[in-house]
Chain A
Amino acid sequence: DVKVTQSSRYLVKRTGEKVFLECVQDMDHENMFWYRQDPGLGLRLIYFSYDVKMKEKGDIPEGYSVSREKKERFSLILESASTNQTSMYLCASSSGGPTYNEQFFGPGTRLTVL
């Protein structure tokens, strides 16, 4: 089975802190994604990566950056956390290719910024 793991299920940080959210997948997938999920807004794409060292902005990239130094790992970085970044963060991965492939999601990290 595909496994996508995220470094923490729950995280509490203070305003202004630098925050790293880590995601690891074990199926050699080319594509990896970071979403945030907020009540009433569904899932919104922050960034995605289709290869090592490659990244593309999603719908809401402001205030975030990403890093993909190895194929299996995709990190989301909040350079200076703010209270409006309190949310559930979901990582996903999928295999590459010209057609759509099912995305496999991790369990999520619930981040609270005080």
Chain B
Amino acid sequence: DAKTTQPPSMDCAEGRAANLPCNHSTISGNEYVYWYRQIHSQGPQYIIHGLKNNETNEMASLIITEDRKSSTLILPHATLRDTAVYYCIVRPSNNAGNMLTFGGGTRLMVKP
């Protein structure tokens, strides 16, 4: 699976948009971009995924660049409960066993 690079930490003011970047310059054509987050003392939680088109759901938006070498997860109105570690993962959609490889992630701190 392609490797991802994320900043280790970010701050965001409550109510503002949080934009979390991820670089995946070695992504291949059949690999999707997935985002999970882990709130303190809980297991990781799926957020969103995409291939090449931008995606939006009730939690977040995912913007993938045209060359697919990077992406941004957007939390449009961050709340204190969005404080968590956010993981960006790339993998093929048809990978047997549904395995995920988590890196270090970005620790997002939402401040009042």
Contact = CB atoms under 8 A, between A and B. Distances in A.
Task: Tell me whether chain B's interface is mostly helix, strand or loop, or mixed.
Answer: loop
A106 B100 contact: no
A96 B96 CA distance: 9
Given A31-B98, A33-B99, A45-B99, A108 B104 contact: no
A81 interface: no
A103 B46 contact: yes
A48 B104 contact: no
B103 A99 contact: no
Contacts of B94: 98-100
Interface centre among B91, B95, B99, B101 (most CB of A within 10 A): B99
29 contacts: A31-B97, A33-B98, A33-B99, A35-B102, A40-B104, A42-B102, A42-B103, A42-B105, A44-B102, A45-B100, A45-B101, A48-B99, A56-B97, A92-B43, A99-B93, A100-B49, A100-B93, A100-B95, A100-B98, A101-B98, A102-B46, A103-B46, A103-B100, A105-B44, A105-B45, A107-B41, A107-B42, A108-B42, A108-B43
Interface of A: 4, 31, 33, 35, 40-45, 48, 50, 56, 58-59, 90-92, 94, 96, 98-108
